[in-house]
A and B are shown apart, each in its own frame.
With several copies, the nearest count.
Chain A
Amino acid sequence: MYNVKVPKFEGPLNLLLELIEEQKLNITEMSIAQVADDYLEYVRGEENISLENLADFISIASKIILIKSRSILPILEVTSEEEKEIKDLENQLQLYKKFKDAGGEFDKLLRSGKRIFSRDYLLGVSTVFVPAKNLNAFDLKKTFKNIIDQITLPEKLPKEAVRDIITLEEKINEFQKRLESRVEFSFSQMKESAKDNIEIIVSFLALLEMIKQRIVMVEQNSLFSEINIKKFKALTIHGQPKNQINN
């Protein structure tokens, strides 16, 4: 069945653009970094995003995190490929905005009432039965069967598409477990255990998120040096963070 609850933002670009426009910013790398937290907050909190769309939201999230990370941490090395990803997101957002605005113009045109009317098909020509040429009952059966074959019922959530994507929640949970076993560990250790770039990014995001939620605190003694992650001391006082996921 279709998920009939429609989330407020249909896609990640829609959300990102809205956040940027809300702050009356232009589409730049800087402004994307500025709204990164709000973006992630929304993705975490919105329950109506379908699993399929969630994959799209997370894919953009990873790019946003990259941008955010670079704006906070100058030590973060960005490959030329990632550099291009950042630029592409900016371009894509600008392009998306053009069509979103054009859609708004269409709305005005549709409401202007300046529509064109046409005549009905062969108006005034009298009906006579003319048998369809070269058509028999078996053609109808064949056609009908083809139609049945071509019906695509709305997906059943395409689990494969999202199965491999590590969610933010999973990552936060993983860190919390680690923190329980070891009071302190470094970001580079975390990086080493990651399977790929996306996972590093998600890790970093999870880290930012936990700093924000005061689950952890980070220490970096000098620029480019190791980042140490520690359990936030006041954790027991603050109790459970509001967004923590309990398994």
Chain B
Amino acid sequence: MDSPKIKSIIESLLFVSGEPVKLAKLAKICQVEKKEVEKSLEEIDVFYKEQNSGFRVIKSGDSAQLGTSPENAEFVSQLVSGEINSELSKSALETLAIVAYRGPITRTQIEAIRGVNTSYILRSLLMRGIIERKEISETRGFLYEASFDFLKSVGIQAVKDLPDWDQLSKNEKIEEILAINQEENNITKDQ
């Protein structure tokens, strides 16, 4: 494999990984020597700096990570605080309402109720600490529920204190759509 190709692969790998990646791991995936990886990383970072790119290579010990250029920090923090402080979108509010009234609940169940994919919204609600999740098992994913901080912020102690919780949390239409969805998952899993 030639050097530009290795650099390209290393960029892709560091991009998708949120955590520092061991150089040995990069070397293994690229099927080259660790030395080659080290050299590539240096060249990549020099290139980023020369080009005034928005990325930087962060090296610590035996690992490397991709980050943003420090010169862009103020813009990045504008984006982050905008994301975290913005009002909830309609989809986010819907998802939150389902998690609050029906939690603990799985992602598949939330999606059955809303009829659309919810992975991004769940991530952003988790990110903001509005909901929490706990793992059921490796294969079956997570259970989501409203966070205590969130409940406090709307002035209640537990989900049971939500208006009409007794009635709404057991709504028949919802029970039915979940039952149908369960059935479909069992029967037509691969259609």
Contact = CB atoms under 8 A, between A and B. Distances in A.
Interface in A210-236: none
Interface stretch (B2-10, B28-36, B37-45, B117-125): B117-125
A119 B18 CA distance: 5
Interface string A94-123: 111011101111110110111111111111
B147 A129 contact: yes
Nearest to B167: A98
B46 interface: no
Contacts of A130: 84-85, 128-129
B93 A106 contact: yes
Interface in A117-173: 117-125, 127-141, 143-148, 151, 153-154, 161
Given A118-B18, A148-B171, A153 B176 contact: yes
Contacts of B157: 116
Contacts, number: 265
B32 to A, nearest CB: 21
A146 B107 CA distance: 20
Contact of A117 (B68, B85, B94): B68
A31 to B, nearest CB: 17
Interface in A63-109: 88, 91-92, 94-96, 98-100, 102-107, 109
Interface string B71-111: 10110110010111101101101111110110000000000
Contacts of B96: 103, 106, 132, 140, 143
Contact of A123 (B18, B84, B177, B183): B18
A14 B151 CA distance: 26
Contact of B130 (A13, A129, A139, A147): A129
A94 B113 CA distance: 10
Nearest to B154: A109
Interface in B142-183: 147-157, 161-164, 167-168, 171, 173-174, 176-177, 180-181, 183
Given A117-B82, A131-B153, A144 B98 contact: yes
A135 B100 CA distance: 13
B88 A117 contact: no
Given A11-B116, A115-B154, A118-B67, A141 B18 contact: no
A100 B18 contact: no
B114 interface: yes
A245 interface: no
Given A114-B155, A139-B93, A151 B76 contact: no
Contacts of B88: 106-107, 110, 132, 135
Given A13-B114, A103-B94, A133-B87, A110 B153 contact: yes
A116 B151 contact: yes
Contacts of A88: 177, 180
Q: What DSSP secondary structure best describes chain B's contact surface?
A: helix
Given A96-B115, A113-B73, A116-B157, 18 more contacts: A11-B91, A11-B116, A96-B114, A114-B154, A116-B56, A116-B58, A117-B76, A118-B16, A119-B66, A122-B80, A122-B124, A125-B16, A127-B129, A129-B150, A135-B93, A137-B162, A147-B114, A151-B174
A105 B156 CA distance: 13
19 contacts: A6-B188, A52-B117, A95-B177, A98-B167, A99-B113, A100-B90, A106-B88, A115-B155, A116-B56, A116-B151, A117-B15, A118-B18, A118-B152, A120-B18, A121-B120, A128-B84, A141-B162, A143-B93, A147-B98
Nearest to A3: B120
Contacts of B17: 121-122
A1 interface: yes
A115 B180 contact: no
B155 A151 contact: no
